[in-house]
């Protein structure tokens, strides 16, 4: 496994196709975790024919490097939009797992059933119990997604 992986748009499309086949179509809506989960969530929603996409604004990794002590939830969907629904929560990567764990907890508190889905799972770096419900691939090193290549 390489230390760094640079994905093309075709690579991304294949990962989303793999994830869509695993996730299935039994969800009411998609909840994208910003910023990294926005593009995969949109692509996944097309493949799953889901039209409702909500956004959870969360910051864990700081632009200047490092992380916050815990994920900062900047904004979150109103509980009335989630209650009673099966919510597909999408992010690009489960590294420490802390961001996804925070979001899944909030979805549960809103009265919904969350299902987590990520493109990449890093089991050796996870710091929380459990793992994503669905993932397209496992990796160890850094992944650069095509929509982040210029960053």
67-113: pLDDT as tens digits: 778 888 999 999 999 999 999 999 999 999 999 999 999 999 999 99
| Nearest by Cα to 82 from 113, 55, 112 | 112
Predicted local distance difference test score (pLDDT) of residue 133 = 98
What single DSSP character describes residue 48? H
What pTM was computed for the model? Answer: 0.93
pLDDT greater than 70 at residue 150? no
Predicted local distance difference test score (pLDDT) of residue 47 = 97
What single DSSP character describes residue 147? G
Predicted local distance difference test score (pLDDT) of residue 72 = 83
Whole-angstrom Cα distance, residue 47 to residue 58? 25
User: What share of the chain has pLDDT > 70, as a percent?
Assistant: 96
**CATH tag for 4-144 (out of 3.40.50.2020, 3.40.190.10, 3.40.50.300, 3.30.365.10):** 3.40.50.2020
Which uninterrupted H or E stretch holds 102?
helix 98-109
């Amino acid at each position: 496994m390489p230390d760094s992986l640079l994905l093309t748009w075709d690579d991304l499309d294949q990962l989303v196709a793999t994830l869509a086949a695993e996730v299935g179509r039994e969800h009411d809506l998609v909840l994208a975790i910003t910023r990294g989960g926005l593009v995969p969530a949109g692509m996944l929603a097309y493949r799953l024919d889901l039209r409702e996409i909500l956004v959870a604004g969360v910051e864990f990794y700081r632009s200047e490097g490092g992380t916050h002590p815990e994920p900062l939830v900047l904004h979150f969907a109103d509980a009335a939009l989630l209650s009673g629904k099966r919510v597909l929560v999408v992010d690009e990567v489960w590294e420490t797992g802390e961001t996804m764990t925070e979001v899944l907890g909030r979805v549960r508190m809103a009265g919904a059933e969350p299902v987590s889905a990520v493109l990449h799972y890093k089991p050796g770096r996870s710091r929380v119990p459990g793992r994503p419900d669905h993932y397209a691939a496992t990796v160890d090193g850094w992944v650069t997604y095509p929509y982040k290549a210029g960053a």
